[in-house]
Amino acid sequence: MRYDLVDLRLFLHVVAEGSITAGAARMHLSLPSASGRVRALEHHCGAELLVRGRRGVRPTPAGAALARHAREVLARAARMESAVASYARPGAAALRLLAGSSATHRLVPEALAGFLAAHPDVDVVAAERRSARIVELLAAGEADLGVVLDEVALSAGVEAEPLGDDSLVVVGQAGGLLHGRAALTFAEVAEHPLVGLGADVPLQRSIEDHLGQHAPAPRYRAVTATIGTVVGLAAAGVGLAVLPRRAVEDDPRLDVCELHEPWATRGMSLCRGATDRAVSPAAEALAESLRAAARPRAS
């Protein structure tokens, strides 16, 4: 039996997203084309691979087995491609770096600035993803380095190198509602207008996952796509915000107090992908740039 790598990659995206539509979007395929490929894959395997429902799809036992082996196949294919490309076009393949919202706000830009200046022959493709998705892509050989939350790295059982604190805090306009306050629970925060990130931003999705269905529903005066915009609105007094401490440290426009919730304490880890480039000298140099950017700033 022969399997098409595009079909396997599409199937993994469908399983990860829980939706053929979302999987098709990840592969830049039309829905009819993606659906046809999945049906052809099922016919080829001789078994149902997905349980289809109104809320999406989930893998059957056969589908779960296929997904597990497909990750291994794609990881091996990526390593083969990388090894061959290193002879044909040395140094041409870009390093692929994935990180969550918090890291992409300050850590990644600071690390890339120094790394790219010191390595003019190396290119980097950086993208923002949720930590759980980053771990999957690293295992599938679709990324070389990833910055993820410690708890996700631990639960996924992957090798991870601690990068530093990424705890969440409450921020507001200097001299405003938070003046003199040391800590607030989220319920107390929700009593005031907030500014926050869109529901599709990894950081906001992580916060909402921890809050659950019974958390108080705050009023968001503004919802935006970037941490930088949220910081600016909070500093202007539009509302309070829950953000990583790293994103707001040393900002004189803000008052900062602790978020008194167990899920507010977080850390970041550096993980490597199942690719040859992940252990290359260039990748190690980028990892060192990330470590340097993550070190506490001298006061």
d(Cα 109, Cα 128) in Å, to the nearest integer? 12
Single out the residue of 213, 201, 212 nearest to residue 241, CA to CA.
201
For residues 36 and 123, state if they share a domain: no
To the nearest 10 degrees (0 to 180), the angle between helices 5-17 and 61-88 is: 130
- The count of structural domains within the chain is 3
For residues 140 and 59, state if they share a domain: no
Residue 73 lies in a domain: yes
Residue 299 lies in a domain: no
Single out the residue of 165, 142, 162 nearest to residue 154, CA to CA.
162
For residues 154 and 278, state if they share a domain: yes
d(Cα 147, Cα 272) in Å, to the nearest integer? 9
For residues 43 and 96, state if they share a domain: no
For residues 70 and 106, state if they share a domain: no
What is the extent of the structural domain holding 47? 5-84
pTM: 0.64
For residues 221 and 257, state if they share a domain: yes
In degrees, rounded to 5, the angle at the alpha carbon of residue 89 between the alpha carbons of residues 85 and 90 is 95
CATH number at residue 176: 3.40.190.10
Residue 215 lies in a domain: yes
Look up residue 111 and give its two tokens: 């690390």
Residue 47 lies in a domain: yes
For residues 153 and 284, state if they share a domain: yes
Q: What is the pLDDT along the chain (299 residues), one digit of tens a residue?
A: 678 888 999 999 999 999 999 988 988 889 999 999 999 999 988 899 999 988 899 999 999 999 999 888 888 887 777 666 655 554 457 899 999 888 988 899 999 999 999 998 899 999 999 888 999 999 888 999 999 998 888 888 777 899 989 999 999 999 999 999 999 999 999 999 999 999 888 888 888 888 876 677 889 999 998 999 999 999 999 999 999 998 888 889 999 999 999 999 999 999 998 888 888 899 999 999 999 999 876 54
